[in-house]
Structure formats: structure tokens, C-alpha cells
Structure 1
Amino acid sequence: MAARPEGTPVWTDAMFTDVESAKTFYGDVLGWTFGESSSEFGNYTQAYKNGKAVAAVVPPMPGQDGEPQSAWCLYFASPDVSATAERIRGAGGTVLMEPMRVGEFGSMCLAQEPSGAVFGIWQGGTHEGFELEGETGSYVWAEVFTREPGKADDFFGGVFGYRSKTMQDGEMDYRTFDLGGDPLLGRMVMTEEFPAEAPSYIQVYFAVDNCDKAVEAARRLGGQAIFGPMDSPFGRYAAIQDPQGAVFAVIDVRTRVGEEPEWA
């Protein structure tokens, strides 16, 4: 597999205090199966769809302060994680976890952009990232939700060299970032509908065959729909909070309603 361009979303994982319950939840909602946990790397456990790696789950690190908050983390590709970390600092971001080697799998760091959203950087080794994308049960899209769009836009453009397009919609401040013309990431402004205490974050979307059935499965297992299901020109989608508090989205990209908006 050819190396993905720097700034391409390449992997996602989430921390859960109860990993077994998380495996049951995502196994039912997204049809995932799970490999053996790697005790050498904090019981990191990969999730698979049709035998291909799509995500991972992991318990909290020993000695972690306070009550850990479950959340999905999106990783962006880098050919040199240390160099990317320096650009993150130079663009006003914060490196939360310094670059570190993860055995032969690759190298990583965790960071926070100036408006508050946390993300990761991944320099692939034997683990290059997603083995399946855009198909049922796999990663398909992600969006930065922020109250300070100017800071987020400048940061991501500065670190990864993204170009951007803005949706021509008077009711919504929405932008996409791209490399070589291919949109890779969305940016949405958080409105008053979001709780005041909700921080900026990156929402990961997984593809499903039927959005409503995915929401029903999530509710049956103790999750809740915090937005949708809703039709759009891009697919029928919903944002879900799982029983441990992690938020993600599901989308049926084949069920599209309405005309795609104009961009500039």
C-alpha cells in the first residue's frame, strides 16, 4: 500500500473503561469483530470488518488521573511524526503526548488544536492504518466541531497544507479541507444547540447500511441518538453517544435527499 499523503485521516481508536462492553456495543451496531488484545501495548485491541482492520479500542492507561472520558480519536498520516509535532507547536497547537515509537507498528503523538479539539498523528510502520474505508462498518468521514472556526481553519491549513471550500449556505458555517482536490475533513461551527460545557472535538463517521437500524441497535444497548437520524444530500446520518459517553456518527451514504450545495 502506498503511503497516504500527510494530513490524510488514517486511523481511529477510543479508550473505554469497560472494553468488553464496548466490544459488545460496536460489534452489534457496526458489525465489528475483534482481535486479541496486545498486553505489550496496553491491551490495545483492533476491530475488524470483513477481516480488515477498521479501528481499535483500549482501556485507560494505568495511573491515569481522574475519571477518564471515553472519546474517539482521529489520527492523521505523517511521514515524520516529530517534524509534524513541531509544526503543530508552530501553528499554535499543543502536543499532549510527545512522539513515541509503538514497536514495529509505527510512531505516534497526540495533540490539541488551538480551539480545543484533540487528535493524533500516525507515522505508519507495519501498521499503515485503515485496511477498509468507505464501506459498511468502516470509517468514511470526520468533522471538526469548534466554536472558533478561524483558529481551527488557520491551524489545519498551516500544519497540513489543506486547501478549503466553504458551503454556500446562509444557515450553516461549514467548510471542507482537501489535498489535491479530494475532500478529507469537514469543519462545523458549534451553535447554541451544543451544551456550553461541550469542548471542541472531531466527530468520526462510520458507514452503515441503514442509519435507523444502527440507531435502534445503539439504543437497545444503552446508547442514545443525540442528533438525527436526518436526511441530507450526503446521506442519512445520526450522531450517537455510546453507553460510556463516546460520541460518533453513522451515515448511510446511499440514501441521499436533496441537491448538493454550492461551494466556494
Structure 2
Amino acid sequence: MAPPPEGTPCWADAMFGDVEAAKSFYGEVLGWTFAEASSEYGGYTQAYADGKAVAAVVPPMPGQESPAQWCLYLASPDAAATAARIRDNGGEVLMEPMQVGDFGTMCLAREPGGAVFGVWQAGTHEGFEATAVPGAYCWAEFFTRTPERTDAFLTAVFPYTAQQLQDEAVDFRMFDAGSGTVLGRMRMTDDFPPEVPSYVNVYFTADDCDETVARAVKLGAVLRFGPMDSPFGRFAALSDPQGAAFSVIDVTTTAGEMPAVTDVT
């Protein structure tokens, strides 16, 4: 299978202080099963939906404990070249490109608006083995208070074209990697407490949004928004019991007409 086009979301993982609790939670909520932890790679543990690799969880390295959060990786044919463009366009490289066995090369970065994301140059691990099916990754958005900086950065680092949603209620932009729309950007409004930093919101597919939310809340998640109907699906935003933000969406349950968009690049 050929690697996805440059800039396409290709993998997601999260660091948890209590990996076993995370496995229990996401196993119940999204139906994930898990591989054996890899001691060679710091306890990195892949998650599967219906036998397909869809994400991973990992404990923090000693001395590097930080709040739990999901990290989205964007595909790159050359992680070192992407890291150089990140620096040249106002971003910060948090982890220099590092080869991970024969699996591929990764780096971590922060865009000018403050959201942290990953870059993945595929080796034997090409990324998601399934998307947009129950339990698998479906969509992601950069939430930022400085959309102009984030937009300019993303289109300079990756070969995106962009479209702006024609909606006075929200400031939302969509990015196309040549194979279709792959990523969104949402302006954070005053509804977000000032202490909430910019972040990448990762959506996982649910077969029933309301039932998935009910299971998550029963297991200690906090419902942040929704469930809400949209032309893209019925979705909700949550924080898991360890504080990692994520969303779920049922793409089979849609309502309303697709909004108009304007080409901006």
C-alpha cells in the first residue's frame, strides 16, 4: 500500500500516566483490543478496531510526565525536510526527526498557534490500517486562537489547498492534500476558558454517537459538547478520565445541507 499524500493524517497516539486504565476505557468505549506492549519502544502499545491498527497508547518516559493528550501525525515523504519548513515558518520542533527501527521516522512540533502535532515518514509502519469505520480515526481539527498564523503555517509546511466555510457563526477552514479534504481548523472562541491551550482535536468513529457518549460518561469521561447533528454526522466532544480531549462521530447519521465553501488558496 502506498503511503498517503503528504499532509494527510496517518496515525494517532496518546501518552497516559495510567496506560492500563486508558486501555480499559477505550476498549469499553470504542471496542479497541490491544497488542502486547513493546518494551523495546518504551511500552508503546498498538490499538486495534476489528483487527486493524487504528491508534496507540504509551506511558510517559521517566521524568517526562505531562497531561494526557492525543497526538495526530501528518504524513511526510521526508521528515527532515518537513522539520526544516516547520522552523522556517514560525513553528517549533519539539523532537528532532528520529528513526524508530524500521517502522519509520517521527518528529514532534508545535505550530505558531500553539497546537502540538507529529510528523511521520513511513517505513514498514504506514499508519492507520482502517479509517472511518467504528473505532477507527475519522477526522481532526486544529483548534487555535490565532487562525491566521495557523492557516499560513499549515499551507506553507504542507502542500495543502484550502477552503473557508461560509458561516458567520464559526470560523472554520478545511485543507485538501490532493486526495480530498483531510483536515480542519477551528477558531477558538471565548467559550473556551483562557487556560485551555490550542490543540488538535481527534475524532474517532462511533456506530452510535449517543450510546458511545453514554458509555464514556459512565466510565468517567466528561462531556464537553453535544451530541449534536451536522451535515457531516452526529458528534460529541469529550475528555477521557485522564483528561485527554477527543471526539466521537457517527458519520451515518447526518442532518442538514452541506455548507457552502470558498477557495482561499
Shorter-normalised TM-score: what interval?
over 0.9
Per-residue deviation, residues 57-80 of structure 1 (Å, max 9, x unmatched) = 00001121xx51000000001111
For normalisation by structure 2, the TM-score amounts to: 0.98
Identity of aligned residues (%): 63
**Matching residue's letter, 1:148:** T
TM-score of the pair, normalised by structure 1 = 0.98
Q: CA RMSD in A?
A: 0.8
Q: Secondary structure at the match of 2:156?
A: helix
Structure 1 residue 151 corresponds to structure 2 residue 149: yes
Cα offsets for 1:57-107 (capped at 9, x unmatched): 00001121xx51000000001111111100100111000001111111111
Corresponding residue number in structure 1 for 2:91? 93
Q: Give, in angstroms, the shift of residue 181 of structure 1.
A: 5.7
Cα distance in 1, alignment partners of residues 179 and 31 from structure 2: 32
Alpha-carbon distance in 1 for matches of 2:9, 2:192: 25
Whether the 8 Å CA contact 1:215–1:224 is kept in 2: the answer is no
> Which residue is equivalent to 2:122?
124
Q: CA deviation digits over 1:110-151, x for unaligned, max 9?
A: 000001000000011111100001111100100000000000
Displacement after TM superposition at 1:6 (Å): 1.0
Amino acid across the alignment from 1:87: R
SS of the aligned residue for 2:20 comes to helix
Aligned to 1:9: 9
For 1:82 and 1:260, the matched residues in 2 are separated by: 38
The corresponding residue for 2:59 is: 59
**Residue aligning to 1:236:** 234
Structure 1 residues 167-246: aligned runs within 5 Å: 167-180=165-178, 182-246=180-244
Question: Does the alignment pair 1:32 with 2:32?
Answer: yes
Question: How far 1:28 sits from its partner (Å)?
Answer: 0.6
State the match for 1:263 in structure 2. Answer: 261
After superposition, give the CA deviation of every residue in 1:28-69 in whole Å (9 maximum; x if it has no partner): 1100000000001000000001111000000001121xx510
In the alignment of these two chains, the number of paired residues is 262
Equivalent residues of 2:146, 2:187 under 8 A apart: yes
Judge conservation of contact 1:77–1:121 (CA < 8 Å) in 2: yes
1:206 and 1:249 in contact (8 A); partners too: yes
- Once residues 222 and 158 of structure 2 are traced to their aligned partners in structure 1, the CA distance between those partners, rounded to angstroms, is 34
Structure 1 residue runs of 4+, over 6 Å off? none
Q: Is the 8 A contact 2:234 2:249 kept in 1?
A: yes
Output the amino acid matched with 1:101. Answer: Q
Report SS of the residue matched to 1:164.
strand
Looking at structure 1, the residues matched to 240 and 22 of structure 2 have their Cα atoms a distance apart, in angstroms, of 8
Gaps of 5+ in 2: none
